[in-house]
A = this chain, B = another copy of it.
Amino acid sequence: MDDLLEAARLVEALLFAASEPMSEADIAKRLPPGIKASSVIERLRLDYAGRGVEPVQLGGKWHFRTAPDLGPALALTKREERRLTRAMEETLAIIAYQQPVTRPEIEAIRGVSVGSSTIDGLLDTGWIKPGPRKDVPGRPLTWLTTPAFLKAFGLASLNDLPGMDDLRAAGMLDTASLLNLDPAAPADSEGQIAAKDGSA
């Protein structure tokens, strides 16, 4: 009997049966001595390549999910899905890539004030949450993404956000330089946006 195959059987059964994704450490605990969890997972990934279900990492833990290309065939689009506004999408991206980030920082990047409805709408998705206050004048609240965000977007971790490495390398995620940037930097960024604001 092929030990790796036997271990792969066990891990696929584990991941199918477990009610939550499992960390590599959790998986390793169930394996016989001498079998590395990472090797078994790699074997499983190969076994399931091109199948209708696949093992993927989500928030640092492994689970099986249906192959994304099958979404339309599974008729998943029938589920009513509230579309996010562009303001919400961009704000979420800024929070995801630059967290912890304050509202003034988000506004500095977007060059426009962020309406309450944008934050409220994102809070409704369960994808963002308030973080600790930032130690600058006014002590603004920071914003973070939640585990539900990683789950919804099928991300293993924040480092797996698309283009994360490139953005970091290009210095695009450096919030320290942000506040000197704003060219039009009016003293008050609040209250100057009329109802036209697309984020409303």
A residues sitting closer than 8 Å to B (CB atoms) are 8-14, 16-17, 30, 50-53, 64, 66-67, 70, 73-75
Minimum C-beta distance from A73 to chain B (A): 5
B51 pairs with A12, CB closer than 8 A = yes
Kindly list chain B residues whose C-beta atoms are within 8 Å of the C-beta of A53.
12-13, 16
B74 pairs with A17, CB closer than 8 A = yes
This protein's copies in its complex: 2
Most B-side CB within 10 Å, residue of A13, A16, A17, A67: A13
Kindly list chain B residues whose C-beta atoms are within 8 Å of the C-beta of A10.
52, 70, 73-74
Minimum C-beta distance from A14 to chain B (A): 6
Q: Which B-chain residue is minimally distant from A5 (CB atoms)?
A: B50
Q: Which B-chain residue is minimally distant from A26 (CB atoms)?
A: B76
Q: How far is the CA of A9 from the CA of B11 in the complex (A)?
A: 20
Q: How far is the CA of A30 from the CA of B67 in the complex (A)?
A: 16
> A9: which of B12, B17, B51, B75 is its contact (CB, 8 Å)?
B51
A14 with B51: in contact, given A9-B67, A67-B9 (CB under 8 Å)?
no
Minimum C-beta distance from A160 to chain B (A): 23
Minimum C-beta distance from A171 to chain B (A): 42
Kindly list chain B residues whose C-beta atoms are within 8 Å of the C-beta of A16.
16, 52-53, 64, 66
The list of the 4 closest CB pairs from A to B, nearest first, reads A9-B52, A13-B52, A13-B66, A12-B52
Q: A10-B74, A13-B74 are in contact. List 8 more A-B contacts (CB 8 A).
A: A9-B70, A11-B52, A12-B51, A12-B52, A13-B70, A14-B74, A17-B66, A30-B73
Q: How far is the CA of A67 from the CA of B52 in the complex (A)?
A: 19
A-B contact pairs, 5 of them (CB 8 A): A8-B52, A12-B52, A13-B53, A16-B52, A30-B75
Q: How far is the CA of A67 from the CA of B16 in the complex (A)?
A: 11
Minimum C-beta distance from A28 to chain B (A): 13
Q: Which B-chain residue is minimally distant from A70 (CB atoms)?
A: B13
